[in-house]
Amino acid sequence: MYQTKAYSAASATSPLASTLIPRREPTARDVQIEILFCGICHSDLHTARNEWSSVMQTTYPCVPGHEIVGRVVKVGSEVTKYKAGDTVGVGCLVDSDQSCPCCQENLENLCANGIFTYNSPDKHGTAPVTYGGYSSSIVVDEHFVLRIPANLDLAGAAPLLCAGITTYSPMMRAKVGPGKKVGIVGLGGLGHMGVKLADAFGAHVVVFTTSPHKQDDALRLGADEVVLSDHPDQMQKHAGSFDFILDCVSAEHDINAYLSLLKHDGNMTLVGAPEKPLTLSAFSLIFGRRTLSGSLIGGIAETQEMLDFCGQHNITSDVEVIPIQSLNEAYERMSKSDVKYRFSIDMASLK
Ligand code: NAP
Ligand code: ZN
């Protein structure tokens, strides 16, 4: 075991602060990574503040961070895919049982025994729960380590590990591409990656935002149209016209208003995970035979596929790079939808 620098929350109401955390020495299948950048996902904030307590309680101290990019410093004796010096990533998952039907289908994200990068039981016993990427170093089973394409900017690549795969996976399932009209609801970290990817897939992309000042950015990021979602006249113009809508909103909002914009047999997928339950009118689905689904990140093979796609198309997140000392300010700004469009922590600031 060794100690590494980190930032943790001591309780749901305390600001994140500097600390030391234990990491295990790499075992035979482990990769030890020096973390260079870590994106700030809204899930980090939900967890640090125990906003999802009705589904999963946060154990404190909590070290969030699951959009990790770094450099391999050491590998275990059985590791074959990576060597010291490689540029790698770690997303939301660090383990799964690797034997259940989900894992056999490369859907480790759906494994009932999946271990998230933070706030999951630590089966190695290094600490009560796993600690995430707001730290200098992490040790991860090589199966859950991803390769970062060499051409990508590292600060901008970090958010691909969660925001990228979470938007890529449902759009691949929905066959988003040329001839499809796709809506992206909420232009935050996930939403702006959804826009970039849907545009790269060749779809007609419409952004729904509550922030009028984000309209120009939405077009620059690849949207074909922008709708201010609190203007009913603008919403009405799109009634019954979408093949697919991806809802990336982090707070309570009216999903029925979006469901009514789907064509018959259209699908809306929720990736945003608001703290409180959403209200669904049965008629929003019955009329038009529409479906509503959810999606959770993606499997490891699909995450690598997404990273390779981003490498080929030179897609990264638009990031504001911050020192870790600005973490609490970044959380405040994220809670006010004021991020353009992802914070990426420069981990050199933790040294
Ligand atoms: P984010 O950067 O904070 O973006 C959320 C966006 O939602 C905001 O920028 C804002 O967009 C919109 N929004 C916020 N409050 C709103 C409100 N009251 N009404 C309407 N719109 C509102 O968050 P993120 O990191 O993209 O994460 C989004 C959600 O996805 C979070 O709940 C997060 O936990 C969840 N998530 C889920 C998965 C998964 O696997 N399913 C993975 C990662 C994250 P506008 O300013 O454009 O309106
Ligand atoms: Zn995330």
Which pLDDT tens digit goes with each residue over 295-330?
Answer: 999 999 999 999 999 999 999 999 999 999 999 999
CA distance 274 to 278: 8
**List of the chain residues with pLDDT < 70:** none
pLDDT in tens, 6-44: 999 999 999 999 999 999 999 999 999 999 999 999 999
Closest CA to 208 of 249, 239, 241, 177: 249
Q: Which ligand has its closest atom nearest to the C-alpha of 92?
A: 2
Report in angstroms the alpha-carbon separations of 33 from 77, 108, 134: 15, 21, 13
pLDDT in tens, 33-73: 999 999 999 999 999 999 999 999 999 999 999 999 999 99
Q: For residue 256, what pLDDT is reported?
A: 98
Q: For residue 255, what pLDDT is reported?
A: 98
Q: For residue 119, what pLDDT is reported?
A: 98
* 185 pocket-lining for ligand 1 (C-beta < 6 Å): no
Query: Which residue puts its alpha carbon closest to atom 29 of ligand 1?
Result: 272
Q: For residue 188, what pLDDT is reported?
A: 98
List domains and CATH numbers for the chain. Answer: 2-162+319-350 (3.90.180.10), 163-294 (3.40.50.720)
Q: For residue 125, what pLDDT is reported?
A: 96
Ligand 1 closest atom vs CA 335: 3
Dihedral over alpha carbons 98, 103, 106, 112 (to 10 degrees) = -120
* 14 pocket-lining for ligand 1 (C-beta < 6 Å): no
Q: For residue 82, what pLDDT is reported?
A: 98
Q: Which ligand has its closest atom nearest to the C-alpha of 184?
A: 1
Query: Which residue puts its alpha carbon closest to atom 18 of ligand 1?
Result: 251
Ligand 1 closest atom vs CA 187: 47
* 269 pocket-lining for ligand 1 (C-beta < 6 Å): no
Q: For residue 18, what pLDDT is reported?
A: 98
Quote the ligand 1 centre to 44 CA distance (angstroms).
Answer: 12
CA 293 from centroid of its chain's CA atoms: 17
* HEC letters along the chain: CEEEEEEEECCCCCCCEEEEEEECCCCCCEEEEEEEEEEECHHHHHHHCCCCCCCCCCCCCECCCCCEEEEEEEECCCCCCCCCCCEEEECCEEECCCCCHHHHCCCHHHCCCCEECCCCECCCCCCCECCCCCECEEEEEHHHCEECCCCCCHHHHHHHHCHHHHHHHHHHHCCCCCCCEEEEECCCHHHHHHHHHHHHHCCEEEEEECCHHHHHHHHHHCCCEEEECCCHHHHHCCCCCEEEEEECCCCCCCHHHHHCCEEEEEEEEECCCCCCCCCCCHHHHHCCCCEEEECCCCCHHHHHHHHHHHHHHCCCCCEEEEEHHHHHHHHHHHHCCCCCCEEEEEHHHHC
- 346, 153 contact by CB (below 8 A): no
